Chains A and B, each alone.
Chain A
Amino acid sequence: MSRTQDAIVVGGGLVGTAIAYGLQKRGLSTVLLDEGDVAHRASRGNFGLVWVQTKGLGAPHYQRWTRGSAAAWPGLAEDLSARTGIGTGLHQPGGLHLCLSEDELERRAATMARMQREAGNFGFEYRMLTHSEVAERMPGIGRSVVGASWTPYDGHASPLHLLRALHTAFREAGGLYLPNAGVAEGTAAPHDFSVEAGGQRHHAPRIVLAAGLGNAALAPLFGLAAPVRPERGQILVTERTRPLLPMPTTTIRQTGEGSVMIGDSKEEAGFDTQTQTPEIMRAMARRAVLSFPWIAELNIVRAWSALRVMAPDGLPIYDQAERFPGAFTANCHSGVTLAGAHAEILAPMIVAGELPAEMAPFSARRFEHVRNAA
């Protein structure tokens, strides 16, 4: 059996679904191909920050892109809620990056000053807070908290509710979602693509690769490159407690339901998501308790790990194939933060058929000189 659509999106996680929804609601009939539960499913393991302040040091285009997404989020959340009745738990009260030593605080202040310089006329509002200024904003901070950086742009949301809302909105807008439809092979010609997935052949003049770590193998089939690798992150979750934290920090947030989430790790562990490393869990818990000593009394009820989708320089890759106009790729490790941009900024570019010049810094061509040099 063979189907023709306006667009094929490969990948049913947060990135693919946000893009597919953005295309479908702008009138492109879109098929969303989702591999199934054998996939790595980064979108089921998110921490849930809509986070700006640590993004884009030395890469002001990434800072702008992230800010654009945070700004697009309220509209997306309202739109999804109106169409599906599903709340995404978006809360953007600003956020803190806590520093647990003078040295950390100094380095943080230097980073924030540099971010502001690099932002130029676009601006970057932030403040460095002392221990007592943090104590005025957050309950029960530890003596180890020397200070913090604050920006008004940060927030958080429920990643699972977001994923469900995007899927529901996509299908209600007329999009075709196909699970158990991993893409094994495809053909590419300008504005003419086909893939075999789930026992069907799909044709479309546009294709968007948003398959997370799967993009590395898929991209070359369509004249693209997506040199992404897994970076493992671990998360600890406490029992629910009554609302206490008025805003998220880079590594600690309280969900709308009351759980305190602790996410503070980066590891090179290949594709292994089964192992939890006790030393890392201990280090995460220790930092959390130094930040908020009252967390020590709470029971940990869940822990998991998931794989971030990392490019060699840690920045997203958005690209279009030179040889095959109509083929696009999207790769990032911030599916929650960037959902606003993917649905409301990137999708319209793909509808228009071309990524504009301001997206050029995100192209995978930035890695070519590395490959040539190697």
Chain B
Amino acid sequence: MFATRPEARPASVEVFVEDRPVMVPEGASAAAAVLLAGIPAIRETPVSGAPRLPYCMMGVCFDCLAEIDGVANRQACMVMVTPGMRIAPQRGARQARPGLAGKGA
């Protein structure tokens, strides 16, 4: 279903998709790393829980939502990989953190 281009650049950046190391080319998106990792889904929809993988790769469909370096609901196709990046599945809606109240305002 998914293959890299024949003239693929060397995979030189290590990131972690669901804690597993994946090597991807410099300048690739986090969504590309998800596809290279070969996992069955990167998010579950908030309403029905349906499993999804990156689809449009251009910032439109939101099917690549992931938790990237601890930040929920990021569009993985819009985020460039950095060494050591951690990409985790977005399971359902984000959980807000009301515990922050103590720090702010």
Residues of A that sit less than 8 Å from B by CB: 139-144, 239-242, 244, 257-258, 260, 289-290, 292-299
Contacts and interface: CB of A to CB of B under 8 A. Distances in A.
Nearest to A296: B104
Contacts of B47: 257
A296 to B, nearest CB: 7
B96 interface: yes
- With most chain A CB atoms within 10 A of its CB, the pick from B96, B98, B105 is B96
Contact of A144 (B73, B97, B105): B105
A240 B100 contact: no
Nearest to A293: B104
B39 interface: no
B93 A289 contact: no
Contact of B96 (A143, A289, A290, A294): A294
Contact of B98 (A257, A294, A299): A294
A294 B73 contact: no
Interface string B20-47: 0000000000000000000000000011
A292 B94 contact: no
A292 B98 contact: yes
Interface string B62-105: 00000000000100000000000000000011111111110111
Nearest to A139: B98
B100 A140 contact: yes
10 contacts: A142-B104, A142-B105, A143-B105, A239-B73, A239-B94, A240-B93, A242-B92, A242-B96, A258-B46, A297-B100
Contacts of B95: 241-242
Contact of A293 (B92, B93, B103): B103
Contact of A244 (B92, B96, B105): B96
Nearest 6 pairs of A and B residues by beta carbon: A140-B98, A293-B104, A142-B105, A139-B98, A140-B101, A240-B93
A284 to B, nearest CB: 15
Contact of B104 (A240, A258, A289, A298): A289
B3 to A, nearest CB: 32
A301 B99 CA distance: 23
Contacts of A142: 101, 104-105
Nearest to B94: A241
- With most chain A CB atoms within 10 A of its CB, the pick from B46, B47, B99, B101 is B101
B101 A294 contact: yes
A289 B105 contact: yes
Given A140-B100, A241-B94, A297-B97, 9 more contacts: A139-B98, A140-B97, A140-B98, A142-B104, A292-B98, A293-B100, A293-B104, A296-B104, A298-B96
